[in-house]
Amino acid sequence: MPELPEVETVANGVNARVRGQRIVRVWTSGKPQTFKSAEEEIAEALTGATIERVRRVGKSIVFDLTRAKKRAPQFLVHLGMTGRLLVSQPDVPMPAHTHAVLTLADKREIRFVDPRRFGRLSIVSLKDKNSKGYTGPGKEPTTISADDFAELFRGRKLAIKAALLNQSILHGVGNIYADESLFRAGIRPRKAAGRLTRDELNRLHKALQHVLAKAIQLGGSSVSDYVDADGVRGFFQLEHKVYGRAGENCIVCRTPLKKIVVGGRTTVYCPHCQR
């Protein structure tokens, strides 16, 4: 479900509702694959901790925690494909596939719900008191400069679409925003990343930042089941120009959009507009 704009929408929504709250109780489901850290470690790290702030790093939701006013290990939530993080009153029925519940001092609950169980919960301990904590696997796409962006792809032979999806290069971009930004920049998804001209890289940098900013502004894309912390859908799906439109005509030149596989993912592009 979630790429950078969706994760950011969820993180900001949860932050606005729970920052400053203390976690008084933790329940976990016992489904082992959901927990990247041991469930006991998660329960121990969270119980009694105060939520300082909730924010997005890459595609992860990071909880900055304190204990007795001192910084404590961080709690990371990765939503996978179908994960949701909801803030609910205790009398709201527990959804199916709920894998963790953090009960707050005011009785509300932070619930992690994930039918497909590709999501992951983990604890990150801080190396020292100056540690920045979790910084993600790659570079941040929303703020990277055009020069640094261009540098990421120099000499790389893999397809530019695969490079955009590689979280250790840039983190946060997924299948929707890779396709949408390549369309906007007029670049073939299969073109080798290292063979893009500086002009193409500049266009891609601009397109990607535009698409991400616009999607964040609209609360993300709701393709099937994505919702924010209040259960509200996003609106960026109405702006998709290629994603999910294979076989339809290009909105610019009316050429039928083509569907191929790049980096193991369905990819839609316009064979006329993207060279």
Partner DNA sequence: AATGAAACCTGACAGC
Partner DNA sequence: TGCTGTCAGGTTTCAT
Give the residue numbers marked as catalytic: 2-3, 59, 265
Alpha-helical regions (H) of 128-197: 146-153, 160-165, 175-185
- Which residues inside 23-42 make contact with DNA, applying CB under 7 A? 33
Interface pick for DNA out of 42, 263, 269, 273 (rule CB under 7 A): 263
- SS3 of residue 82 by DSSP: coil
For residue 201, what is the enclosing H or E element? helix 198-217
- Which residues inside 112-171 make contact with DNA, applying CB under 7 A? 115-118, 156-159, 162, 165, 167
Closest CA to 174 of 123, 217, 124, 226: 226
Yes or no: say if 44 and 102 are a contact pair by the CB < 8 Å rule. no
Task: For residue 214, give both structure tokens.
Answer: 């616009």
Minimum CB distance to DNA smaller for 20 or for 194? 194
If you search the block for the tokens 């949701």, which residue do you land on? 84
Residue 105 DSSP symbol:
T
Residues with Cβ < 8 Å from 91, sequence gap 6 or more?
Answer: none
Residue 257 Cβ, how far from DNA at the closest point, in Å?
13
Residue 246 Cβ, how far from DNA at the closest point, in Å?
8
Minimum CB distance to DNA smaller for 106 or for 225? 225
- Which residues inside 77-116 make contact with DNA, applying CB under 7 A? 78, 80-82, 96-97, 115-116
Q: Is 176 in the site for DNA (CB under 7 A)?
A: yes
Q: Can you give the binding site for DNA, defined by CB under 7 A?
A: 1-3, 6, 33, 58-59, 78, 80-82, 96-97, 115-118, 156-159, 162, 165, 167, 174-176, 220-226, 234, 237, 261-266
